[in-house]
Every structure is written in C-alpha cells, then in structure tokens.
Chain A
C-alpha cells in the first residue's frame, strides 16, 4: 500500500475496491464511499464501501442459504498441498476481524444458525466464529489470528488442519425462511 500513496485519487480508489473484491469469494460489486486519509502514518486507514454480492444468497426450496464466510476468500485455498518442504513464513503476525451486521428482508426469519466456533484458543493461530440472531438482524463476528512468523515444516500438518477447520467454518450456512416458525439459535 505504500507505493499507492503516490497514485492519484482514482488510482487509490481502484486499489481499495479491487482489494475489497479479493476478500469476497464470489463476484461482487464494490464502491468506495469515503475518502480515506492516505497522508497520515499514525492513524489507521479506514475505507468504507457499498457492496453487492448478487449470488451470495442461494435458494433451496422455500428456504434461502447464506454462507457465513463473506470475507474469507484469502483462506479458501491456503495450504492446499498435503506435503511441505520449507518452513512456513508469514511476513508479519496479523489478525483479521470481520464484524458484519445483516438486516433480513421483512418477513424472513432464521431457521438455522451455525454453532459458535473457537479454535486454537491460546495457541499461535486462532479462529472464532459467532453468529447472533437479534430479530431481523444477524450479527456475525469472525476472527482469524496468526501470531507467528516462522514455523518449522514439521508443524505444517497441524497448520493445514487448522486452515481446513477455518474453511469448513466459513462454508457453513445460515438457513433463512419466509414467515412461520423459526429454528432460532
């Protein structure tokens, strides 16, 4: 992102929009709606978007399925290979926090919510997923933490298993249905 400081406003806007699209594991329409502060090195760079993911909600009879991993594209294919020769190197430790609020269309209710997940608590990598149903308003919290720089190749199977759990968690679906009784939590 440092070199983009030298871009003009259109170039920076495109960069941020392209980057947001890369987070989403489906075709999306993304529009940056604010003017982030590129001049400060001490304040976080905050970008606000309006986004549409046309195919995100799929139909299943009268029900609709909503996958929970809206911003999980980066983890989709990470560590796919079963064998590993070199150590695993992350350029820096990081934490990704998705805090998503979804307003349901009038008349729609939650039929099923995936269970809360908490993997790797207290270890070098961690993943939590929590979805709350607040009457017509879903609150989804996803946190991925990688608190390691260099990992010996012998730990690769463990790390790979962890990311498989992350993928499975992200692929879980919220089931919605119009009217009637709700499955709730």
Chain B
C-alpha cells in the first residue's frame, strides 16, 4: 500500500518488482546496487518445499514471446490491529527467455511506515544445486528521481538479486513487511505482464472486524472458505497484460481486489466503505491546513486590490499560485496525502499540487470565495463510482 497524493503521473512504487511497471527506471539503480553487492557468493542451499512443488507444474498458456511465467503467487495479509499489518509474499517464476532474467531482481518497497522484516530468494536451476540469497545480501536504495517532479519522499527499496535467473530455471522469493497503515485498505494486484498459473490472497482479521471487497477489471469472486476471520481467494490461469501503444494506464486495466477493513463498530477514521467516509477522512486530514497567516492575508489583499470583479481577483490569485509557488513535492509519511499548511507553502514558496490547492483555497477565502478540494484520479479507470479507494493516482486538483 502506498501513500501518495501527488500531481506527478509517473508510476509510483509498487509492492515488488513484479508489479513495478517502470522497470527501466530501475535498471540504472539496479546496476549500481549489484556493483555494490559485487555479486555475493552464491550460497548453495535448498529452495523451500513450496518452490520445489512447482518444478513439474504445467505452465500456463503462453506464446513464444513470453519471457517468463509466474508459477505461483501468494500474498497473506494479517491485520494485527488498526496500527499494525503484516504481509507475507511468496512468488516464483519460471524464466523462459533471456529477457526474463529480470525476474531474478527482487525489489521490495518500504518507507517510514513500512519495514521489511525478512527477505529471501532462491533459484532452482534446471540442472545442479539450488541457490539461496538472504536479507544480508540485499541493499537498501532510494528510488530514482522522477524527471521534472523535484520529488522528495521517504520511499526506499530493498533490492535482492537471485543468482542464475536463466531460461529454464525457476526463481522465487519470500518476504515479510510490517506496516503501520495510514488507511485500512489492501490491494491485491493479481495480473501482470506475464501469464500467471496460480495466485492466492488471504486476509486475516482480528475477531469482530469486517471487510468489504471490491473487484476491478475482474469478475467478483468469492473467498474459497470463510471462518475465524480468515478470507482466502484463489485465481488461476490469468492472462498476461500485454503492453500496447496508446493503451490506458495499467492501473485501469489490471485485475485487482481492493479490500477495505473495519474494526468492530464500523469504519475507523482511516477506513472507509463509502465516498462520504472517504470525504470525511480527507476533511479531517486537511482541517486547519488552509488557515491564512497574516502574510497570506496581506498578499491576497495586495494581489487583488486593483480588480473590482471577483473573477479577476480569483485570476490574480491563481496566477500567483501558478507562477510564484514552485512545484516541489516533499512527501514524507502521511505527507503523501496531507497537504502542508498554507502558511508554510506561502513562506517557502514551494509545494506540490495539494499544497498549491491549499494555498489557493486559503487566498480565495480572503476575497470571500469558498472553495473545496476535489480529489481526482490521474490514471483513467483506476477509480470507479463503485470503487472508492485512495491510491497513488488520486490527488486534489491544483488551481
């Protein structure tokens, strides 16, 4: 789960390399990382049983251009409390073509609210002994800067290279992340650019908790069993999501399950089952952020004094926010969603889209104009009227 509200449309950090579409952005950083790693000695150790069980698994339908297939994916989400979620991910690919070697690069994202508590990778070669790599062989890096975004955030990544991800071999990994959730929501992205043989997701909730599941780009599917707070889902033989020219954003095409969960007694402050609750959440998050400082009041007055018409006054304020406030996104923790106070944005003369919208709202109030945040999504199809969610691609509109 990421926590970002920014105007930048570049794809944000996904959970692991397999869903991190802009892998090219990572190529440079990975080269650097692997230089640092110096190709750590390959430890010969048995891959776990769950991977060996895949050796003779029939491959999902694929064509000759397919670089790899995902044989098995398992995501187990355990909600310990409203403040703590543990997620364990297991995945294994069979590499089919040299271009599929990138499946041996494991990238797990973390931030100040999310830490990686374990990370292992293995390779089962077509011939010879298994290889193993562990946490200590991973390096922690900051994602590359997105050109033009001036983005500063607290997202980091643990990068692990699995040895010998060659055609015919099976590479797999397992990691656990522990998260202090900013919103009570989990997303299972089960489709990717290679065919998937089998994908599992499970949600374990504490006693008395409830969840609401919403499907996007895939027919609604019931859990395979239910009881004791555990809800598992399983899908198989999933088609690859091929890249095509002029296609909609992947987030609007890929099959996803979005699960919102709630403690006993209904939605928490950071959980929502309808648009009203999401609006309330955002209103709480922005409360007091647009209060005008003396300096803002003075500037708004000076900028608008020459104009008798309200519309001209509003235009003058918009010009100021557009031209004199530089776009710089500093998104740390909840700062990915919560704007900085208008007074700070005004003083520092920089901010991201939600910061600019906040300052604009503050200045408009000084000329007697009420204004409101409008949360929009920048990736067509990733949010629908039925599917309320806060994602990487939703943001308050800037003036």
Contact = CB atoms under 8 A, between A and B. Distances in A.
B368 interface: no
A86 interface: yes
Nearest to B9: A91
Given A39-B323, A41-B322, A150-B380, A86 B148 contact: no
Interface stretch (B48-56, B80-88, B240-248): B240-248
B322 A88 contact: no
A21 to B, nearest CB: 20
Interface string B315-328: 00001001100000
Contacts of B89: none
B253 interface: yes
B229 to A, nearest CB: 38
Contact of B245 (A3, A78, A150): A78
Interface in B341-395: 380
A41 B323 CA distance: 9
B253 A86 contact: yes
Contacts of A2: 148
A86 B149 CA distance: 29
B147 interface: yes
A87 B147 contact: no
Interface string B280-317: 00000000000000000000000000000000000000
B380 A85 contact: no
Interface string A117-137: 000000000000000000000
Contacts of B147: 3
A89 B246 contact: yes
A39 B322 CA distance: 10
| Interface range for A | 10 to 19
Interface string A3-20: 100100000000000000
Contacts of A150: 248, 380
B328 to A, nearest CB: 11
Nearest to A79: B245
A62 interface: no
A26 B160 CA distance: 45
Interface string A83-113: 0111111100000000000000000000000
Given A39-B323, A41-B322, A150-B380, A88 B148 contact: no
B316 to A, nearest CB: 12
A84 B323 contact: no
Given A39-B323, A150-B380, A85 B244 contact: yes
Interface in B203-255: 242, 244-249, 253
Interface string B137-154: 000000000011100000
A90 B148 contact: no
A87 B217 CA distance: 13
A86 B247 contact: yes
A89 B246 CA distance: 5
A86 B243 CA distance: 9
B148 A81 contact: no
A81 B322 CA distance: 41
B247 A87 contact: yes
Given A81-B245, A90-B246, 20 more contacts: A2-B148, A3-B149, A39-B323, A41-B319, A41-B322, A78-B246, A79-B245, A81-B244, A84-B244, A85-B242, A85-B244, A86-B242, A86-B244, A87-B247, A87-B248, A88-B247, A89-B246, A89-B249, A149-B380, A150-B380
Top-5 shortest CB links A-B: A3-B148, A89-B248, A86-B247, A86-B244, A88-B246
9 contacts: A3-B148, A78-B246, A79-B246, A86-B248, A86-B253, A87-B248, A89-B249, A149-B380, A150-B380
